[in-house]
C-alpha cells in the first residue's frame, strides 16, 4: 500500500500528496499547484503574489526543497526559475517532471 504524505500549510489545513501539489515558501507557506513546466521554469497556480526577483522555495513531496526566484506574477499565480548550476536542483527538476 502506498504511503500518504500530508503538508501542513496555514492553520490546520493540509494538502493530500499529489504529484502536482506543492508548497510555495514566500512570505508565508502557500498551497500551490504546478500548472506547467518549461526548461528550468515552473508556473504555479497559487494565491501567493511575491514580487518578481524575490527568492522563494518550492517544497515538493518528490523533489524536496528547491530554491528559486520569481520571474513573473499575475492574477492566476507565479512563474519561478531555478538555477541550472546546482546538481540538487537539476535532480529536483527531473522529479517534478516525472
For residue 40, the model assigns a pLDDT of 86
Give the pLDDT of the chain (98 residues) as one tens digit per residue. 444 444 444 433 444 445 578 999 998 999 999 998 888 899 999 999 999 999 999 998 888 888 999 999 999 999 999 877 677 777 777 777 66
For residue 94, the model assigns a pLDDT of 75
Q: Return all residues near 75 (Cβ < 8 A) that are at least 6 apart.
A: none
Q: Report yes or no on 5 lying in a domain.
A: no
For residue 33, the model assigns a pLDDT of 92
For residue 54, the model assigns a pLDDT of 95
Which range marks the domain in which residue 59 is found?
Answer: 15-97
Q: What is the CATH number of the domain that holds 26?
A: 2.40.10
**Does an H or E element contain 42, and which?**
strand 41-46
Decide: 81 and 50 in contact? Cβ < 8 Å: no
Q: Report yes or no on 4 lying in a domain.
A: no
Residue 32: phi and psi, rounded to 5, are -145, 155
Cα separation of 62 and 16, whole Å? 13
Which three-class secondary structure state does DSSP give residue 36? Answer: strand
Q: Report yes or no on 6 lying in a domain.
A: no
Q: In total, how many domains does the chain have?
A: 1
* Confidence (pTM): 0.73
Amino acid at each position: 500500500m502506498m504511503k500518504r504524505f500530508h503538508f501542513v500549510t496555514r492553520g490546520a489545513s493540509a494538502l493530500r500528496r499529489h504529484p502536482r501539489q506543492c508548497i510555495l515558501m514566500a512570505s508565508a507557506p502557500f498551497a500551490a499547484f504546478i500548472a506547467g513546466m518549461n526548461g528550468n521554469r515552473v508556473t504555479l497556480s497559487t494565491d501567493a503574489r511575491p514580487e518578481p526577483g524575490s527568492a522563494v522555495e518550492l517544497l515538493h513531496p518528490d523533489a524536496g526543497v528547491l530554491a528559486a526566484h520569481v520571474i513573473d506574477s499575475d492574477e492566476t499565480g507565479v512563474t519561478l526559475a531555478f538555477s541550472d548550476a546546482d546538481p540538487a536542483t537539476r535532480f529536483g527538476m527531473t522529479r517534478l517532471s516525472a
